[in-house]
Structures are given as structure tokens and as C-alpha cells.
Structure 1
């Protein structure tokens, strides 16, 4: 199958074995989301993933020493770039800019794995938390550091963090602005696994490959169920499950998987 990748400005994208890998590639500014084209690049990949049937998993990582440093502090200091203007101008720029990111990633139909290679700070921490799974290098650090700069998590990070680790822990991290290391992030449930730096991508890609080996249409439907499960009442959720299951039972990939299992059982 011939696949056309979207054209990106500040990131790189590859596709191998149904696993797409998006690498943030502005290491000169520690992969900051403001003052770069990274938000637009991530949005383009999110749209592409949802319509490209050749993709079953998306891995996001960073080039260089940082995963993502969030906002450009120099622009904040000068009240320039994304932070220029009066209240209405800044608010509009947030809605039309970085706030498109959580909406897009929440709507990605395939599993997202964040391979956090280094510091994930502020909006970079929030970007990692928009993934379904986070695997971290021992060099990674994490911080909801907005209050340290006299601002709030304007990209929706407070919404994601408390759903990930609970209100109390998320409140403490957000209000203190503490930066924690990878092991502490694992203890809190932010990170699933911690690896040595040179083993990070191998582990992330292995996990992605295991997911990508599953029937692709059922995988997308399963992620949709997982996302909706926390926001629906049980009777409505079960109705949706019944409909999705009807779709699965009528897909060729279901019979292929059943026949493969029967053949495996026959060989034992």
C-alpha cells in the first residue's frame, strides 16, 4: 500500500509496520510548542492518522535533549509572538492556536504512545499526558510549571492530569509547580515504564508493534470505547458496545483472527 505522508515544517514523520513515529525536531528551542510550527505539525499528523488506514499506532517523541519545553519563555518576557496583545487577543490566539492540540489529540482514533526522551515541562508535560501511554527515559523530567511563571495551564493540562492521577495529586503538582523525575512520575502513575535512554525508542516501538499487530478496525473502535467509557452512563455505554460489536462481527478481520486462533489451537 502506497502511503503519502503529510508535509511537516518542524517535525519528522515515519511509518513502518503500521506504526507512525512523529519526532518533534526543534531541539534548538527544546521543542517548544509556541514560536514554532510544531502545533500545526502535530495537528496535521492527527488528521492524517484518522484517515490513513495504514496506521494503527502513533508514537510521539522529541529530538535532542528535551521532549518538549512547552511555551517559549523569551516570547513571554517580551510579550511577543503568541503572547502579544490585550486580553482578548491573547485569548483568541490560545483558542486558535495551542488549544486546538488537546481537541485534536483527544480525537485521534489510534493508540498514542509518548516516548519521553527528556524534560516534558509545562505544555510539554501536558502534551505527553494527552497520549494514552507514556514511556520515559531516566533523563526525563516532568513539571506542571505554569504557576512558576504566573500563568495557568492554558492548554487544558489541568483537565488531563487530574483524570490521569486523581484530583489531589494533580492539584499538588500544579499548585506547587514541582518538577519530578521519571521514577517519581512512574510512582504517581504518570509514566507506565522507565527505561535507560538508549533503550527508550526500542521499548516504545516494541509496545507499539504489539498493538499494531491487532486487528486494525477493532483497535480503533476499542480506543473509542475506552475514551467514551469515563463519560457515559453504563446503559448508554453498553448500547454503544453492542453497536460496535455488531460492526466487528461483520468485518473480515474478525473471521481472519478467529481462523488464525483455530489453526493455532489445532497445532497444539
Structure 2
């Protein structure tokens, strides 16, 4: 059984973490490889404009395999330097792959997102939560820290103070509290979660594929660039966009009051 299920519907790729019996941990080598490979494949495929990530079963993701922590097995085996390298060559590949993906990612959080599972949700561009979802930056409860980049992603989503409260306490945050804190953009009835995610993905995917990707690149650069740097990059990208076929089609369709047909060129 594949640990990661993929189903493309039009220009939207639904990706399902598929270890429901363990609440979809992401610390195993096959899951890490599958997520990284999915990102690389999507990056090269202009037929995909949006990725939705969700979990099979009742949970979104339990993060790391706590049983392996107890047994000192899997990625949790070895001396200090070996463990550090296990993180570098293991689970830390996931935030790099998702961060460098130019296609927008929607996390459809169907249940508990715990530890690295919470961080995985924070790696997405947009989060929609089921009313059965919850979130916990729970590493401190196990005497460890967010080793997968959570200390970088969470404050950028929730702000420093909310991120600090979650990381210092490890407490569980309900879907409603997550909405109030800005962790998610909306909370929906559990049975409507994927319908709502696909509706949003469809509204994104209606736009020119190249422009979607360039817009995400600019938003990503804007996290760290100065205004002058971002303005210069924007000028260069905008000049390229003006010479695309999709820009001409968008303008022609707008003036003709018809639906555009984009080719990703």
C-alpha cells in the first residue's frame, strides 16, 4: 500500500497521506521520499496548478513516530551527530521541498495535526480546517524541539506571540481557536472539507499557470527581501509576463467579455 496517494482532477492534484492506522506520521523514509518526489514532479508539470494535501482516516498527521523515539529506532537511532544528520537527510527534506514548490499548496486539515504534522500544515500556503481538526506544536511535551522547521514556519503564519504560546506549552488548539488565531483561513463542516478545498483550488487554477507560479515566487521572496529587491524582481517578472501568450489571451478575453483559455505559454 502506497504511503502517499495522488489523484489529479483537472489542474488540481489531491495528495493524501496514507498511513491512517498510525495517524499519518511523516518521519518514515518512504513518506519523506514520496513527499519530496511529489514536489519535484509537480514542479516540472505545468498541467498542475494547485496541490491539496490531506490525511487518510481520522487524523491529518501525527508528525513523528513516537514509538520509534522510545525504541531509539528509525531516524531516532545514533549518537548526537548521527541524529542531527538523520534530521538533515530525513524529515528536513520535506520543508525544503514544499517551500521550493512554485505551485500553491492548500492543506485540507481533516483531523489532528500534531507536532511535525502541525508544521506540515503550516508549510502550506493556505489552510482549511475541518471542524474536527486540531493543532498542537507539541514537541516540548516529548522533551524535544521543532526539528523540521516549525520554528520558522509557525511564527510566519500565527505571529510570534501565538507561535510562542503553542511551542512553549504544547497545548492543543481547536479548529475554532486556530481560526481566531489566523492559523487557518476557514473552518468547515467535516464532510464538506474536500469540496471546499477543491472549490478554492479551482478558483486559483482558472488563472494562467505561469502567472500562478510567478506570483507564489514573489510572495515567497517577499518574506525576506527588501522592498527595493522585491520591486526589481517584480519589474523583471512582469516584463516576462507581458510577453506570454496567456497575458494576450487574458486581455483579449477580458475586453471581449468571454472566458479565457490558457495554455501555460
Counterpart of 1:110 in structure 2 is: 103
In the other structure, the counterpart of 1:64 is: 57
Q: Deviations over 1:143-200 (max 9, x none)?
A: 0000000000000101101111111111111000010110000000001010111000
Q: Distance in 2 between matches of 1:37 and 1:197?
A: 28
- Counterpart residue number, 1:237: 230
1:9 positional shift:
3.3
Counterpart CA distance in 1 for 2:93 and 2:53 is 17
Gaps of 5+ in 1: 1-7
The 8 Å contact of residues 29 and 90 in structure 2, kept in 1 or not, is answered as no
Match of 1:225 among 198, 218, 226: 218
- Other-structure match for 1:210: 203
Secondary structure at the counterpart of residue 163 of structure 1: helix
Contact residue 9 and residue 37 of structure 1 kept, 8 A: no
Equivalents in 2 of 1:181, 1:109: separation in Å? 30
Structure 2 residue aligned with 1:3:
none
Structure 2 gap segments, 5+ residues each = 259-265
The CA deviation at 1:35 is 3.3
Matches within 5 A, 1:86-125: 86-125=79-118
Aligned-pair Cα RMSD in Å: 1.1
Partner Cα distance (1:165, 1:131) in 2: 13
2:24 to 18, 31, 47: 31
Q: How many equivalent residue pairs?
A: 258
Deviations for 1:26-54, whole angstroms, at most 9, x for unmatched residues? Answer: 10111011236221111011001110010
| 2:141 pairs with 1:141 | no
Q: 2:9 aligns with which of 16, 26, 35?
A: 16
Residue 262 of structure 2 corresponds to none
State the alpha-carbon separation in 1 of the partners of residues 177 and 82 from structure 2.
38
Residues 107-135 of structure 1, C-alpha deviations (whole Å, 9 max, x = no match):
01011000000000000000000000000
TM-score relative to the length of structure 1:
0.94
1:251 aligns with 2:234: no
Q: Distance in 1 between matches of 2:28 and 2:11?
A: 31
- C-alpha contact 1:56 1:216 (8 A) present in aligned 2: yes
Determine which of 182, 186, 201 is the counterpart of 1:189.
182
Q: Which runs of 4+ in 1 moved over 3 A?
A: none
Contact 1:9-1:41 within 8 A present in 2 as well: no
Residue 44 of structure 1 corresponds to 37
